[in-house]
Amino acid sequence: MAASPGAPSGADGDLMAAELGALRGSDRYPAHIIASSDRALVRLNLVVSEFRKASVKLVLAAGFPAEGFEASVQASSPTLDESVTSRLAAGASAAANAAAPGGKLEAAAAAAWEVVRDNLLLLAQPEIKRIKKRTKGVAGVQAFKINEKAGSVRIGCKVGKYEGTVVFKVPAAYPDEPVAVSVTKPLDPKTGKPGSRPCSWPSAMLRPFLAKADAMARQAAMGVRVSVLTAAMGPSQIGWEPAATGAEETGTAADRPAGGAPAAAAAAAASEAPSVASGAGASAPGAGLRITADVARSFKDDVRFFKEAARVRAFVNETKAGNAKAAAHSGRERKRAVNYLRLMGKKERAKEEAIQESVEAELRAEAEAAMGEALPSDAGQPCLELLWDILGEGCLLGLPLERCPVSRKRLLPADPAALEDILASTSTKKMRLRPIRASCGHMLLWGAMDQAVTRPPFRLACPVCGERMTHSDWTQDVTKLEKAWASKQAKRREIDEVIDFLGAVADSTVEMHSSAGDEDM
């Protein structure tokens, strides 16, 4: 049988054929690992799943297999990050050049296949790099530890006495399977391994954040886009930013127009709105809307409408003045003007209906586009960075520094043990120090919420986002809140009256005793 063009001959050819045969027959690799091969190039297909796959091109030297590969091996992947493919190429090249003749292809394939098969963090590499960049130099981040074979990412956090480690367990089928999240004992800053101290965060405080992160991970695995998840949670529930209090940051009520945007933004929008340039009142050339032929034609019907309306008005005035001759002369003009005005009315209604239909069509298109964004896609969505926003920046790093947006007191006590006592207590005094999350997504102290919603006007607008703050501990029925407040005020008045009565009785008793003493003397 004739040798194929470009195939090595003699002993080298036999050695290469043996290596290729060993690769094809090995149970360690996929059945079709060798996509193509000739004297100058061997291309390997490394496929673990739909996402974890790569193509490695082994460029052979002139004296292969005795002289090994050239300096570099080419690797590419439609799903993996460039840093991963560079690592694949470097590892395969080094392994092949270090192997003895007869095992160079096997060594290169084993090195590349081990990375694709065993590294569970391949698809999360871009997110991990971004999280590393965001946490570099951040006060409170003590350690950043990854385990590629275990598929775990551990980020140790400590703010004051609050310390713990955010743990992400990335599954082999990520992003089609959800990431497991947890908060465990702190990491040793020197070794990066779990230390001996337990996590100081009370489990009751972590539970809602873990539940939120778990729900987001599951929805992302179902194909819901991260942008949709972010919009559903709201910016206040992603990351933790200090509550703004000044009008400079949030805009006061007086600075906000009806739409809710700050006045400065509204003024900027108004300054960008086109205006009709006319004569001396126009600003610099080119500013505003120029009068073009199309614009002039759009005014044509309006001008004629006013003219016809003026004719009808003139006829009415002449009739009232008793000018029969002028009235008879303008009768035909009047009928023509009235007919024209009716026709114009029909045309205007038709235009308005067309505009309304166009607007509704645009709204429907926008709603369908938004629905398309919200509907799950065919594949899972990477969400590791979003989970860090919730658990890391939103909880372990942010909460110990956050203040109640209403009372401006610290949201958490300095000692985690005191927080655990507050969360477990049922006494009203300690409950008032309990941090709770309102309906708008921001957190505040239970006492601040109670003081605001149980007194007139029985509602509380969030100082950060402006939305009404509600919570399941208080009814939203203002009538019930008013009755409870009125009842409390009535009881207080009764108590005051009793105190006043008892005080008056005591005063009269003292006076009686003092007068009796005077008589005895």
- Residue 31: how many CB atoms within 10 A of its CB? 9
SS3 at position 42: strand
Structure tokens at 156: 């140790």
For the whole model, what pTM was predicted? Answer: 0.64
| Residue 437 parent element (H or E) | strand 435-437
Phi, psi of 166 (to 5 degrees): -80, 125
Residues across the chain: 521
| Residue 35 parent element (H or E) | strand 34-37
**Sequential pLDDT tens for the chain (521 residues):** 344 444 444 455 566 777 777 777 777 777 778 877 776 788 888 888 888 888 888 877 766 666 656 545 788 888 888 888 888 888 888 888 888 777 778 888 888 888 888 889 988 999 999 999 999 989 899 999 999 999 999 999 999 999 999 999 999 889 889 999 999 999 887 777 888 889 999 999 999 999 999 999 999 998 888 888 887 665 444 443 333 333 333 333 333 333 333 333 333 333 333 333 333 334 344 444 454 555 555 555 666 666 666 766 666 666 655 555 555 556 666 677 777 777 777 777 787 788 878 877 777 676 656 544 544 456 788 999 999 999 999 999 999 999 999 999 999 999 999 999 999 988 888 999 999 988 888 889 999 988 888 888 888 888 888 888 888 888 888 788 888 878 877 887 777 777 776 766 666 665 665 665 555 55
